[in-house]
């Protein structure tokens, strides 16, 4: 199994990067921008490329080398991954990674650094000089949903790689090969996720998340009065916070378990006084609060995608395009057909615009409850 085998629906990009990794190291571009919609696997592609560049077998062996395993696990000394569970990446984190990038690699000819797209403009400006004049042994791998999400000054100094949206069949095949779910469940999860691999896996393996989505779709289709909108918005926000808190607790528990493992402590051992300060940093109240905020936003963004898929399906039926593009919400076909008759084509488009407007309001730190109350009222036929 090569380093590329876990990537879904990206063969043209894999073929290109694989050839580059096997070429002359001195000819490799030092600044890359890997773009793809959420769930397309852009961060995984960056890690695979890093592993192919670092590993002596260029990631092609059926049995992964130790270097490949280290890169993919995030433990290789020359591959630094900057990511965050918070809403944005802080400027201090970027300054720290720039300092790291200027150091000579410890064991390999290149120091490869993968970056992600959660940066404010002033933070990205700090990175610009390093992208313009990277250290001799440094390769930057930046990830973003699209090139337009990055400042033009950064974009113009990188080689852009665009990923495709994986097909439903490719995502379903990935789920059946990597999880224990039945093919029918995998197929449905892939269809509802609309090419987002991470969400597809979540739908396939977490019944609560799938159930919450089903309830949301039915709730939107049954909107008839303002009171329905208010109740549905309240339920959505409550479910989002519950999912976010569960995720945050799971992540914090995992970090605490890893801390104990690294320091040779059993789960029931007391934390020694000299380690207590470092241990307490894992579950700092402010950090956990930021993590919950980030996870809540992720859940609400997923909800907006689900809502938009309803009106996408309505438009598909109105334009007699089901045979060519299919429906996402097949389980709700009857209600969606009825809605496609009640709404005219302009009404369906207007409601898609309302979803996009709600997304912008959330991105601007609008009150989530008020944003969704307003959205659901606007969606009432």
User: What is the tens place of the pLDDT at every residue in 259-284?
Assistant: 888 888 888 888 888 888 887 777 67
- Asked whether residue 358 carries a pLDDT value surpassing 70, the answer given is yes
> Do 236 and 303 contact (CB within 8 A), yes or no?
yes
Determine phi and psi for 144, rounding to 5 degrees. Answer: -155, 155
Residue-wise pLDDT tens digits, 145-168: 888 888 888 888 889 999 988 899
Residue 342 Cα distances to 1, 328, 339, 345, 350, angstroms: 52, 19, 5, 10, 14
HSE-up (13 A, CA, CB side) for residue 320: 0
DSSP state letter for 54: H
Structure tokens at 170: 């490719």
Give the pLDDT confidence score for residue 67 in this predicted structure.
84
Q: Which residue has the higher pLDDT, 337 or 259?
A: 337
Strands 31-35 and 79-81: unpaired
165 CB contacts (<8 Å, ≥6 apart)?
Answer: 9, 36, 37, 40, 194, 195
Find the DSSP H helices in 263-332.
273-282, 285-318, 322-325
CA 221 to chain centre: 27
Point out which residues pair with 369 in neighbouring strands.
none
Measured in whole angstroms, the distance separating CA 346 from the mean position of its chain's CA atoms is: 32
Read off the pTM. Answer: 0.76
For the ranges 92-96, 107-111, 241-245, 316-320, the maximum mean pLDDT occurs at: 316-320
Residue 64 pLDDT grade (very low, low, confident, very high; cuts 50, 70, 90): confident
Which has more pLDDT, 286 or 36? Answer: 36
C-beta neighbour count of 345 within 10 angstroms? 12
Is pLDDT above 90 for 373? Answer: yes
Determine the pLDDT at residue 369.
Answer: 96
C-alpha 250, offset from chain centre: 18
User: Is 87 within 8 Å of 290 (Cβ atoms)?
Assistant: yes
pLDDT per residue as tens digits for the range 162-197: 998 889 999 999 999 888 899 999 999 999 999 888
- Band the pLDDT of 295: cuts 50, 70, 90: confident
For residue 39, give the nearest of 211, 166, 168, 187 by alpha carbon.
166
CA distance 206 to 273: 39
pLDDT at site 154: 83
d(CA 50, CA 208) in angstroms, rounded, equals 35
Structure tokens at 233: 């918005």
- pLDDT value of residue 266: 87
Does residue 54 contact residue 78 with C-beta atoms inside 8 Å?
yes
Highest mean pLDDT out of 171-180, 275-284, 337-346, 357-366: 337-346
Distance, in Å, from the CA atom of 282 to the CA atom of 261, rounded to the nearest integer, reads: 14
Q: What is the pLDDT of residue 237?
A: 95
Max intra-chain CA distance, the chain: 69
Segment holding 361, helix H or strand E: helix 345-363
3-class SS string, 152-176: HHHHCCCEEEECCCCCHHHHHHHHH
3-state class percentages of the chain: helix first, strand second, coil last, to nearest 5: 65, 5, 30
Q: Is 113 left (phi over 0), alpha (psi -120 to 50) or beta?
A: beta
Whole-angstrom distance, CA of residue 365 vs CA of residue 293: 11
In the predicted structure, residue 116 carries a pLDDT above the cut 60:
no
pLDDT at 49: 92
Name the token pair of 166.
């994986």
Cβ atoms 136, 103 nearer than 8 A: no
Tell the burial category of 91 from Cβ atoms under 10 Å away from its Cβ (0-12, 13-18, 19+). middle
CA–CA gap between residue 272 and residue 14 (Å, rounded): 48
């Amino acid at each position: 199994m090569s380093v590329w085998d876990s990537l879904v629906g990206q063969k043209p990009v894999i073929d290109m990067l694989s050839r580059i990794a096997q070429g002359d190291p001195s000819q490799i571009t030092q600044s890359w921008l890997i773009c793809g919609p959420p769930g397309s696997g852009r961060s995984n592609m960056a890690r695979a490329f890093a592993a192919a560049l670092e590993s002596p077998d260029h990631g092609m062996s059926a049995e992964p080398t130790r270097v490949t395993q280290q890169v993919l696990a995030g433990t290789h000394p020359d591959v630094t991954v900057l990511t965050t569970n918070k809403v944005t990446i802080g400027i201090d984190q970027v300054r720290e990674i720039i300092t790291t990038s200027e150091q000579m690699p410890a064991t390999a000819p290149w120091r490869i650094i993968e970056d992600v797209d959660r940066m404010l403009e002033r933070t990205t400006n700090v990175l610009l000089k390093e992208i313009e004049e990277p250290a001799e042994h440094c390769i930057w791998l930046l990830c973003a949903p699209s090139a337009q999400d990055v400042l033009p000054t950064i974009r113009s100094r990188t080689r852009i790689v665009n990923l495709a949206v994986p097909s439903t069949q490719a995502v379903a095949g990935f789920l059946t090969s990597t999880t224990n779910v039945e093919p029918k469940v995998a197929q449905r999860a892939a269809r509802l996720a609309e090419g987002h691999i991470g969400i597809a896996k979540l739908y396939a393996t977490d019944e609560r998340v799938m159930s919450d989505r089903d309830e949301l779709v039915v709730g939107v289709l049954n909107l008839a009065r303002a009171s329905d909108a208010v109740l549905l918005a309240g339920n959505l926000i409550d479910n989002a916070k519950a999912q976010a808190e569960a995720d945050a607790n799971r992540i914090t528990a995992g970090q605490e378990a890893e801390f104990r493992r690294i320091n040779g402590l059993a789960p029931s051992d007391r934390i020694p006084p000299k380690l207590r300060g470092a241990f307490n940093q894992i579950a700092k109240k402010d950090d956990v609060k930021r993590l919950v905020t980030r996870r809540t936003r992720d859940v609400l963004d997923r909800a907006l995608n689900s809502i938009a898929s309803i009106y996408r399906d309505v438009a598909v039926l109105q334009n007699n395009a089901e045979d060519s593009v299919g429906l996402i919400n097949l389980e709700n076909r009857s209600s969606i057909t009825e809605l496609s008759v009640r709404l005219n084509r302009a009404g369906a488009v207007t409601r898609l615009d309302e979803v996009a407007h709600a997304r912008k309001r959330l991105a601007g730190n609008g009150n989530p409850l008020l944003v969704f109350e307003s959205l659901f009222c606007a969606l009432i036929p």
